[in-house]
Amino acid sequence: MCLGIPGQIVKITDETRLMALADVSGVRREVSVACVATPDLSDLVGEWVLIHVGFAMSLIDEDEAAKTLEALRGLGEAQETLEAMADGAAALEGSQ
């Protein structure tokens, strides 16, 4: 399964290499914007994109980005709950 994480383009870092700085939930990383490039790359600043393995794969709107980030947060919380349950079950088995 491929997972695209929403990020917002905050700065073009290298026009020649089609690279930009994206903010992903407060973490900034450099990504390739080759897949979403426009004739004037500065048009991408402020845009939301889905990022996968260092590539901005597609443009998305802010509402879709917010919904996706919320769903990912929910998945993270669900994973933490499942891990806590597994740890509890293992502790019970070990005490028997």
Q: What CATH number is associated with residue 62?
A: 2.30.30.140
- Domain span at 41: 5-95
Structure tokens at 24: 């992903």
Return the DSSP state at 67. Answer: H
Q: Give which of 83, 67, 81 is closest to 4, Cα–Cα.
A: 67
Confidence of residue 50 (pLDDT cuts 50, 70, 90): very high
Structure tokens at 22: 């994206």
Give me the number of domains the chain comprises: 1
pTM over 0.85: no
pLDDT higher than 60, residue 1: no
Q: How far is Cα 87 from Cα 15, in angstroms, rounded to an integer?
A: 49
> Of 7-11, 23-27, 32-36, 88-92, where does mean pLDDT reach its minimum?
88-92
